[in-house]
Amino acid sequence: MHSMDHFLYRNGVLHAEDVPLTEIAASVGTPFYVYSAATLTRHYTLFTEALSPLPHMVCFAIKSLSNLAVLKLLGDLGAGMDVVSGGEYRRALAAGIPGNRIVFSGVGKTRDEMRLALTHGIRQFNVESEPELRALSEVATAMGVVAPITIRVNPDVDARTHEKIATGKKENKFGIPIDRASAVYAEAAALPGLQIIGIDVHIGSQLTELEPFEQAYKKVADLTERLRAEGHTISRLDLGGGLGIPYTRSNEAPPLPLDYGALIKRTVGHLGCEIEIEPGRLISGNSGLLVSQVIYVKEGEGRDFLIVDAAMNDLVRPSMYGAHHDIDPVIEAAPATEPHPYDVVGPVCETGDTFAKARPLAPLNEGDLIAFRSAGAYGAVMASEYNTRPLIPEVLVRGDQFAVIRARPTFDEILNRDTIPTWL
Ligand code: LLP
């Protein structure tokens, strides 16, 4: 069920909060992304409520949806930010997030990125390897500052999610093996310019069960006791992101933030640590739709194609992960309408540009608007201009207001990014 969002039919028209999607389409053209401020707020608040009264910070994983307006909205609610690049760090700063609420994750932080964050302020670096530890120590020492760190441990648990987004098995590239934690923490403690403040773990994304979190967090609790016994200060636990969302309205019911919070309290609540989490998808996923228009309905061999004006470059998840996104007509179908199976495809010249196969939908015609659900996370941020299709606009709705928060670029802007050398 999409019961936690604010995209509902009213008088037969799909709305984002109080704004009919037809109105946005008429104003900005299709395709576009639209986000609901009320849904973003609600999802963020579910996490803060689930973790209270433990001391905590919810650091939004910017990678899932990085528009400055969204970051500002969440930042104003008190959210911290989890960044994985200098670019994301700059976004957080530009949205007004103070450095002491920004966490820097990622396996390949460069020295330049480290300097950037140490210059403008950082809550902590989540260090993922020994070479990174040494690099950060060098950079901080050269700058005459101390870098607060956690070390990301790989707990070797199976997140039971799509293989491309599982990160907590020992064969994955992330973190240090939990068995080596004692040695690596000892090395960190001996290096100048670093201050150990805690432990970090993140086992994967779109987890639909609590079990893998429980295994991982129990290991982190044991490790906390062990590292403390070895003389380290462990005052903060970053427990990562990854809580999954419902992508279909069938009987799919991933665990709720409240149950996740209870699990955190049960597994690590007794340690007296400040708790940090890095959710992305659960906050942004069902806060956004991709709205598109039917260009043609084409009869094929034993199937009808719905050729729409959005494509894999706008929303890559179906072609990249085989992901399912529910599709709804913007104008609600009459009650007893018989669904018709469609292959929903974009205009890009690849068979992989397919959003859905044999998807039963109310009959649609040229010019009709459709909405892809659950497109707020890993949608706009993964878009490209493949086929020289301009990045599509992003729109934010709050109540009865809406604003374009990223405009569609003009073709001149796109073409002007290229340079033809004078010697050609
Ligand atoms: N923290 C770290 C260190 C991460 O690597 C990730 C996601 C998160 C937090 C946020 O995870 P979330 O709460 O959103 O599950 N593009 C893929 C998802 C990639 C996730 C990468 N890491 C998709 O479209 O499904």
Residue 408 has pLDDT above 90, yes or no: yes
Residue 263 has pLDDT above 80, yes or no: yes
pLDDT digits (tens, 9 = 90+) for 131-141: 999 999 999 99
* % of the chain surpassing 70 pLDDT: 99
**How would residue 108 be classed by pLDDT, with cut points 50, 70 and 90?**
very high
Q: What is the mean pLDDT of the chain?
A: 96
Residue 369 has pLDDT above 90, yes or no: yes
* Enzyme catalytic residues: 349
Domains 2-35+285-415 and 105-279 share a fold: no
Residue 3 has pLDDT above 80, yes or no: no
pLDDT digits (tens, 9 = 90+) for 220-249: 999 999 999 999 999 999 999 999 999 997
Separation of 279 CA from ligand 1 center, angstroms?
8
Q: Which backbone phi and psi does 129 adopt, to 5 degrees?
A: -160, 165
Q: Is the CB of 224 under 6 A from ligand 1?
A: no
C-alpha to C-alpha distance for 148 and 80, rounded to whole angstroms:
16
Q: Is the CB of 378 under 6 A from ligand 1?
A: yes
Provide the residue ranges of all domains of the chain, joining segments of one domain with +: 2-35+285-415, 105-279
- Pocket probe for ligand 1: among 205, 283, 290, 381, the residue whose CB has the most ligand atoms within 8 Å is 205
pLDDT of residue 1: 39
Comparing 66 with 162, the larger pLDDT belongs to 66
pLDDT digits (tens, 9 = 90+) for 286-316: 999 999 999 999 998 888 999 999 999 999 9
pLDDT of residue 2: 43
pLDDT of residue 160: 84
CATH number of 105-279: 3.20.20.10
**How would residue 128 be classed by pLDDT, with cut points 50, 70 and 90?**
very high
CB 192 within 8 A of CB 141: yes
Who's near 395: CB < 8 A, 6+ residues apart?
Answer: 16, 24, 28, 32, 33, 34, 35, 402, 403, 404, 405
pLDDT of residue 117: 98
**How would residue 165 be classed by pLDDT, with cut points 50, 70 and 90?**
confident
pLDDT digits (tens, 9 = 90+) for 185-208: 999 999 999 999 999 999 999 999
Pick the CATH number of 2-35+285-415 from 3.65.10.10, 3.40.50.360, 2.40.37.10, 2.40.160.40: 2.40.37.10
CB 114 within 8 A of CB 97: no
pTM confidence score: 0.97
Residue 52 has pLDDT above 50, yes or no: yes
Q: What does the pLDDT average to over 382-398? A: 98
pLDDT digits (tens, 9 = 90+) for 318-337: 999 999 999 999 999 998 99
Q: Is the CB of 381 under 6 A from ligand 1?
A: no
C-alpha to C-alpha distance for 162 and 320, rounded to whole angstroms:
11
* % of the chain surpassing 90 pLDDT: 92
Q: Residue 129: how many CB atoms within 10 A of its CB?
A: 18
